């Protein structure tokens, strides 16, 4: 069955450092991958989308890579700030798929300490 | 503009009672999704509505769960004869129905079954 793993349940880093979150998947060949941010008591918020033919996407301090050979996506936050503390979810999708096209991972809770 | 809204924000019920959860999607969005998020777990897909097509109900965990979407807009998720294991946050999301798509989530309804 399809499986998505996000590297750890929690990641603690110091302010100013680069946070790197990992999303691995098996038994699936997604056409695209998305990253969402979820704050406590709120629904997830879309951050970035990367397609299978794209190696890297950037948005301000965020960078996402997508390696279809390794079946892995890396999500980087550079110059991290305490305000970046949240749970980050990866989601895989395929064109024309069912189930709303997205399968979500369990998320990684990032804590950035001042 | 207004985002996805859900009501109630919190619901406490007794085991065996029926509950109805409401979702108001973003105006114009053709797709609507229901997910369940239990503590420490990822988003569990429940049901997906797209336009006038038959809904994808493949994620509903039992026949106690049902959902409808009236007039292609507001949706109601109904849980009959609630059980303690139904306790979770129920999230609704809507989208334009594009491919790939970005889902816009509501704040969720926290359901507690005593």
For residue A19, is pLDDT > 80?
yes
CA A85 to CA B113: how far, in whole Å? 30
> Is a pLDDT exceeding 60 seen at residue B1?
no
User: Residue A46's closest chain B neighbor by CA?
Assistant: B102
Q: Which of A25, A35, A101 to mutate to test the interface with B (most CBs of B within 10 A)?
A: A101
In sequence order, the 6+-apart residues with CB closer than 8 A to the CB of A12 are A111, A113
Please enumerate in sequence order all residues whose Cβ is within 8 A of that of B7, keeping only pairs 6 or more positions apart, or say none. B21, B22, B24, B109
Residues whose CB falls within 8 Å of the CB of residue B92, separated by 6 or more in sequence, listed in order: B4, B6, B21, B23, B25, B32, B33, B34, B35, B75, B77, B105, B106, B108
Give the best residue of B4, B42, B60 to mutate against chain A (max A CB count within 10 A). Answer: B42
E strand or H helix at B77: strand B75-79
CA distance between the termini of chain B: 37
**For the segment A20-34, what is each residue's pLDDT rounded down to a tens digit?**
999 999 888 888 999
Q: Is the peptide bond before A13 cis (omega within 30 degrees of 0)?
A: no
Q: Which residue has the tokens 């769960």?
A: B65
Residue of B33, B42, B106 with shortest CB distance to A100: B33
The answer, for A46 touching chain B at a CB cutoff of 8 Å, is yes
Q: What is the band of A101 on the pLDDT scale with cuts at 50, 70, 90?
A: low
pLDDT band per the 50, 70, 90 thresholds, residue B97: confident
Whether residue A98 has pLDDT greater than 70: no
Two tokens at A22? 């990992």
Residues of B in contact with A106 (CB under 8 A): 40-42
Asked if pLDDT for residue B21 goes beyond 80, the answer is yes
Phi, psi of A83 (to 5 degrees): -65, -15
Please count the CA atoms within 13 angstroms of the CA of B107 that sit on its side-chain side.
10
Cβ atoms < 10 Å from Cβ of A72: 16
What pLDDT digit, counting tens, does each position of B57-89 carry? Answer: 989 999 999 999 988 799 999 999 999 999 999
Which pLDDT score is estimated for B42? 82
Tell whether A88 is within 8 A of chain B (Cβ): no
- A45 part of contact set with chain B, CB < 8 Å: yes
Answer whether residue A97 shows pLDDT above 80.
no
- Check residue A7 and give its pLDDT: 72
pLDDT tens-place string over residues A39-64: 999 999 999 999 999 989 999 999 99
A15 and A61 Cβ atoms separated by less than 8 Å: no
pLDDT of residue B93: 95
């Amino acid at each position: 069955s399809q499986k998505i793993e996000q590297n750890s349940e929690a990641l603690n880093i110091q302010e100013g450092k680069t946070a790197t979150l990992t999303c691995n998947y098996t038994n699936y060949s997604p056409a695209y991958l998305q990253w969402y941010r979820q704050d406590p008591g709120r629904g997830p918020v879309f951050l970035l989308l990367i397609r299978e033919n794209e190696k890297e996407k950037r948005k301000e301090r965020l960078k996402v890579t997508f390696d279809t050979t390794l079946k892995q996506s890396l999500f980087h936050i550079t110059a991290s700030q305490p305000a970046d503390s949240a749970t980050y979810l990866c989601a895989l999708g395929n064109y024309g798929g069912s189930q709303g096209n997205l399968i979500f991972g369990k998320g990684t809770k990032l804590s950035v300490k001042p | 503009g207004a985002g996805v809204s859900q009501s109630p924000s919190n619901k406490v019920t007794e085991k065996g009672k029926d509950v109805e959860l409401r979702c108001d999607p973003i105006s114009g969005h053709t797709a609507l999704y229901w997910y369940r998020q239990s503590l420490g777990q990822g988003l569990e897909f429940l049901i997906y509505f797209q336009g006038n097509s038959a809904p994808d109900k493949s994620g509903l965990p039992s026949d106690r769960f049902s959902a409808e979407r009236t007039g292609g807009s507001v949706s109601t998720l109904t849980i009959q004869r609630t059980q303690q294991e139904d306790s979770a946050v129920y999230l609704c999301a809507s989208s334009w129905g594009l491919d790939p798509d970005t889902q816009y989530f509501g704040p969720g309804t926290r359901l507690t079954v005593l």
